[in-house]
Amino acid sequence: MNSVLLCMRNFELGTRLSDVFTRLEWAVRFVDDYEVLGKSDDPPAKLAVVDLDDPLTGSVHFIASLKGLNPHITIIGYLKWMHKNTHDKFKVAGCDIILPQSSLVKNIPSLIRNLSINGRVG
C-alpha cells in the first residue's frame, strides 16, 4: 500500500485530505516535525503534502530535510497565497508541485492519477 505524509497542523484540511487519500487506498501519516521522519520504522512514503505557510513545515530546511531522508519522495506543497519568490524558493528546496490551498483537495485525485501514469508514485 502506498503511503502519504501529511505535514500540516490544519485539522480541517488534514481531515479532508485524509478522507481523499483513504478513498484512494493510501495509508496516511500526519507529521509536523522533520526529526520524526527519520525515526519511523514504516516503509518510506511515496508522497508528502506540506503546508508551506506553517512555520514548522513551511521552511526550506524542512523541505530539504524531507527530500534528504527520501530522495524519491514526491513533495506537494500548498500556499494560501502564491508569490513567485516563495514559489521559486520552495521549488529549489525540493517541492515538486506547489498549489494554492483552495484547489488542493479537489486536485489530489487527478494529481495521483497523473503521477502514477508517469511512474512517480504507486
For residue 44, what pLDDT is reported?
A: 83
All three cell numbers of 5:
505524509
Please give the CATH number for the structural domain made up of 3-117.
Answer: 3.40.50.2300
For residue 38, what pLDDT is reported?
A: 58
Split at pLDDT 50, 70, 90, the class of 31 is confident
pTM, whole model, 2 decimals? 0.91
Torsion of CA 26, 48, 6, 41, to 10 degrees: 70
What does the domain layout of the chain look like in residue ranges?
A: 3-117
For residue 14, what pLDDT is reported?
A: 96
For residue 32, what pLDDT is reported?
A: 72
